[in-house]
Amino acid sequence: MGETLNGTSGLDIEAEKKLVDDTLKQLKAENCSEEFIKSAMKDLGIQRARKYGWPNTYVFSKAMGEMLLGHLKENIPLVIVRPTIVTSTYKEPFPGWAEGVRTIDSLAVGYGKGRITCFLGNPKTVIDAIPADMVVNAMIVAMAAHANQPDETIYHVGSSVSNPLELASLQDYGQRYFTKHPWINKEGRPVIVGEVKMLNSMDSFKRYLAIHYLLPLKGLQIVNTACCQYFESLYVELRRKIKFVMRLVELYAPYLFFKGYYDDMNTEILRRAAEESGVETDIFYFDPKVINWADYFMNIHLPGAVKYVFK
């Protein structure tokens, strides 16, 4: 139905849906546990996404959604807005609002609670982030601009071209914030954070994890068994932390070494046109160039994440 990311032919959305349905029915017919079914379906999604060049099911399903829109739109105006990493609000309805743990908030939660001491990534990688209210404003202005125009336009709403944010800066903001404002854990004690060791390849990450965590965890498992589960709570907690980091790496690995920038020229043209036509850009603002990332993360996003996301 549409062009795949790696040029592989044969993508049929109906066939993909049928494969999902048939696989799910088969697993249920075999009386597999809910946990096994969930894991198997996740694996299937990743497998199908990577077959056509997408790194995960999330972006694969979004791409298929765009294909369907293009196929079915006929003469209806179609505007596709592609936001990058959506972060907490810049100003409206109030600064720092967020709902649920999303994207880089997973890193904030993990680091602030002391679960992350190392991570995979190139410090120079640009993290393409954009506050949620800017995304909403861009959508509103785009809808108004394209009303009754039977065309198809794509807007990338992000910051990598206009106001790039490097991973090293993000790490610095997190360390500075949580050093000054440590998270208070359930026992009422502040969580002391340190500098996160950045590992610049998957091989170095696996070596570091094996030496510093997996081998000691295996030793603890043996001791725990020998001592009749005396260290069970410690073992479970350490295993949970390792799984948490592995899950984050699995989720973000395709993006941590990404060297591309998302062309936001259409969005910039839209912003200028709105400004020239008298749109109240102080209300419908979506210019990422106005963001001071240090101020935003230190005084808006991270305090908001602690207030609305941390539990």
Cβ–Cβ < 8 Å for 22, 34: no
Kindly name the residue from 58, 218, 289, 307 that is annotated as catalytic.
58
Match 């081998």 to its residue by tokens: 215
DSSP 212-261: IIIHHHHHHHHHHHHTTTTTHHHHHHHHHHHHHHHHHHHHHHHHHT----
DSSP 263: -
Q: Distance between CA 77 and CA 142 in Å, rounded?
A: 11
DSSP 64: H
Match 């295996």 to its residue by tokens: 218
The residues near 113 (Cβ < 8 Å, ≥ 6 apart) are 183, 185, 191, 310
Residue 58 appears among annotated catalytic residues: yes
Kindly name the residue from 18, 38, 62, 197 that is annotated as catalytic.
62
Catalytic residues: 58, 62
